[in-house]
Structure 1
Amino acid sequence: MNNKLQAMEVFVQVVDAGSFTRAAETLQMPKATVSTLVQSLETALSTKLLHRTTRLVTVTTDGAAYYERCVRILSDVRDAEESLSRTRLSPSGRLRVDMPTGLASEVLIPALPDFFERYPDIMMELGSTDRPVDLVEEGVDCAIRGGDLVDGNLIARRVGVVNFLTAASPAYLDKYGVPKHPRDLERHRCVNYFSAKTGKIYDWDFRRGEERIDIAMRGVIALNDSNAYVHAGLAGLGVIQMTDYLLTEHVAAGRMVQLLPDWTSDPLPVHVVYPQNRHLSAKVRVFVEWVSEVFAKHPYMHVRATPPVLANALPLAAMETITAAAAAATMSP
């Protein structure tokens, strides 16, 4: 029976990955073993479950029906095992997660000692990238993502939101002057951010009361990594608009200056996502609960009714008197 369950698990992984090779990598077993286990299922069932070509593995009609049964059976088996063991109290095993770089470095990695103190038997593999990964193909148990969800194959739990600040380095402002209104940014150097998946450069948005402005910024550089983006601002390459948890420390230290503090940008929802055809294991469950707890306690992971104004934000009066030289500086890149 154990061999049959293992073969079913392997078959499900091959269907999910669309490849014997990727399934073997995810399961950390030889490709030949994966192939043999699937063949044993086909022999026992006297039917072909998969179409195999040199480039692609696809499921047959019988295979698709069997796949759905396997997913349900394996989920029931795991539920039964967990209900009769201490797994819920002490989850263990490999947990592979993925999250954006800035969120990892500034929010979750500093909090991880608490997670491992609670769950010492979990071994985490943490991928840190702003590129949206394919959870099934890359063998990722769950991921943290910002923005609206468009993948209907994922189950999502909203765990928080992130807010944005507009800022620039003091050296940049000395050279180019201080914008007093979002429309002033059209005459400034700006650092843009582009999607690692589509290459699209994101517009900037500003709200103040009922007034809303969306601007496609002109810039000399665009990046797709949040940490690199912040460093571009620190280097004086232009005005940036980034999450406040990445900028607040730099503003407080005087390395960046918050601009347009009476304007807000649309907050971005944050979700933990995992494949819908996957049983939510105890290790994933406790990680999701822990992330929700971390975000609930974090000072920047909630929607603000009013714009945050930091100590180094420039009020309008200060903007008007920053220096005569800055006011007279050319606004052209």
Structure 2
Amino acid sequence: MDRLDAMRLFIRVVERRSFTLAARDIGVPRSTATDAVKALEARLRVRLLQRTTRHVAPTLDGEAYYRRCIGIIADVEDAEGAFAGLKPGGLLRVEVQGTLARHFLLPGLPDFLERYPAIELAMSEGERWVDVVREGVDCVLRYGNLPDSDMVGRRLIMLDRLTCAAPAYLARHGMPTGIDALEGHRMIGLRSLSTGNLWPLEFMIDGAIRTVDMPAIVSVTGTESYLAAARLGLGLFQVPRFHAGADLPEGRLLPLLVETPPPSVPVSILWPRNRQLSPRVRVFVDWAVEQFARAQL
């Protein structure tokens, strides 16, 4: 294994905290990964990793070397691509929250893969906040206001939201005429995976957000289940407009309280602050910006 390949492997071991997972990502035997890191340590005359039976973590020297390796590999890939006229390639791991992939990315994916045929895209969907570096993810798409983290990124779109209910629910409970008329109504609970709490309903009133806690006899953690429960008439709910786009014209869902809509929320694409963008991540980010800009037209 040459020096650059050993650096790539070392980066993956640090990020995955595992020789086994890093070797699987790179496509080499675990013994090869172990030998490559030992050779690096012998050449540098420092210990790069602390190893136990369950855990692998960089030493202080290993952390410093890891950061240098990231910059070196990114520069090499940029230089080779620029001078050889090569298009970015390799495995690209993307984590997408909820249904964002299906609505905004998948329709244009054939064009992306035609532009960059050497990229192998591994896209996963989830609602939880992933540890991008530890889980070997290159970038993530997230819906909503973002917590403080070691991530940087770009905002892709602001999504309008609305409050809805099914005709069956309104037939039983009546049409609320305003925020103060919500007594006696109930919501479908959307539960946070990080805290376990239910998200309250939110309404914009005179430029300020007003939250309303309501009883919920059903709560879910997934977007699709949230929408399905609403269609069954189990309560009021709030979603981005695109989620209800097919239901509103058909009358399966009806918009409510349109004078006091929920606040709009951002969608962002994020990557680790301490990692230079590789060419394949850079072209994916630029393409994602295109896709969401097209959705706003």
TM-score by length of 1: 0.83
Q: Tell me which residue corresponds to 1:310.
A: none
Matching residue of 2:285: 288
Among candidates 243, 248, 256, match of residue 245 of structure 2: 248
Q: 1:211 to 1:3 in 2, by over 3 A?
A: closer
| Cα root mean square deviation, aligned | 1.9
| CA separation of 1:113 and 1:170: change in aligned 2, threshold 3 A | same
CA distance change for structure 1 residues 263 and 289 in 2, over 3 Å: closer, same or farther?
A: same
Assess if the C-alpha contact under 8 Å between 1:26 and 1:138 holds in 2: no
Aligned partners of 2:201 and 2:237 also within 8 Å = no
> In structure 2, what is the equivalent of residue 42 of structure 1?
41
Alignment of 1:224-263 (within 5 A): 224-263=221-260
Report the secondary structure of 1:84's partner residue.
helix
Instruction: Determine whether 1:120 maps to 2:117.
Output: yes
Aligned 8 A contact 1:208 1:263 in 2? yes
CA apart distance, 1:254: 0.7
CA shift at 1:135, angstroms? 1.6
- The amino acid that maps onto 1:109 is L
For 1:215-271, what per-residue CA distance to the aligned partner results, in whole angstroms no more than 9, with x for missing partners? 122101111111111111011111111111001220111110011111121111111
1:165 shift after superposition: 0.9
Residues 293 and 173 of structure 1, relative CA distance in 2, 3 Å threshold:
same
Structure-2 change in CA distance of 1:62 and 1:107 (3 Å): closer
Aligned 1:26-175 pairs, distance under 5 A: 26-87=25-86, 90-175=87-172
Q: CA deviation at 1:77?
A: 1.6
CA distance in 1, matches of 2:117, 2:130: 27
Q: Distance in 2 between matches of 1:31 and 1:185?
A: 60
Distance change (3 Å), C-alpha of 1:212 and 1:160: closer
Output the CA distance in 1 between the equivalents of 2:209 and 2:203: 6
Give the Å deviation of 1:151: 4.7
SS in 2 for 1:95: strand
Are the structure 2 counterparts of residues 71 and 199 from structure 1 closer, same or farther at C-alpha, using a change threshold of 3 Å?
A: same
Aligned match of 1:324: none
Which of 183, 187, 202 does residue 184 from structure 2 map onto? 187
Count of residue pairs the alignment pairs up: 297
Q: 1:198 to 1:26 in 2, by over 3 A?
A: farther
Q: Call closer, same or farther: CA 1:78–1:114 in 2, change over 3 Å.
A: closer
Counterpart residue identity of residue 192, structure 1: G
Moved more, 225-234 or 45-54: 45-54
The alignment's TM-score, normalised by the length of structure 2, stands at: 0.92
What is the letter of the counterpart of residue 171 of structure 1? Answer: A
Which SS does the other structure have where 2:69 is aligned?
helix
Deviation at 1:288, TM superposition (A): 1.1
2:118 & 2:159 partners in 1: Cα distance? 31
Aligned CA distance change for structure 1 residues 126 and 62 (closer, same or farther; 3 Å): closer
Q: Which moved more, 1:191-200 or 1:149-158?
A: 149-158
Distance in structure 1 (CA, Å) of the matches to 2:209 and 2:147: 25
Q: 1-side partners of 2:95 and 2:73: how far apart?
A: 24
One-letter amino acid of the structure 1 residue matched with residue 282 of structure 2: R
In 2: Cα distance, 1:211 partner to 1:97 partner? 35
Percent of pairs with identical residues: 39
Kept after mapping to 1: 8 A contact 2:74/2:278: no
Q: In the alignment, residue 199 of structure 2 is paired with which amino acid?
A: Y
Q: Is the 8 A contact 2:81 2:88 kept in 1?
A: no
CA distance in 1, matches of 2:110, 2:78: 28
* Displacement after TM superposition at 1:210 (Å): 4.2
1:121-152 deviations in Å (ceiling 9; x for gaps): 32211111222222222221111112233353
Q: Tell me the amino acid that sits aligned with residue 34 of structure 1.
A: A
TM-fit CA distance, 1:185: 2.9
Contact 1:18-1:58 at 8 Å conserved across structures = yes
Work out whether residues 78 and 279 of structure 2, in 8 Å CA contact, stay in contact via their aligned partners in 1. no
Task: Please list the CA deviations of residues 259-307 of structure 1 after superposition, one character each: whole Å capped at 9, or x if unmatched.
Answer: 111112111111111123333122211211111112112149xxxxxxx
Task: After the TM superposition, list the runs of 4 or more consecutive aligned residues in structure 1 that deviate by more than 4 angstroms.
Answer: none
Distance in 2, Cα, partners of 1:78 & 1:117 = 21
> Mind listing any 5+ residue stretches in structure 1 that lack a counterpart?
301-333
Query: What secondary structure sits across from 2:135 in the alignment?
Result: coil
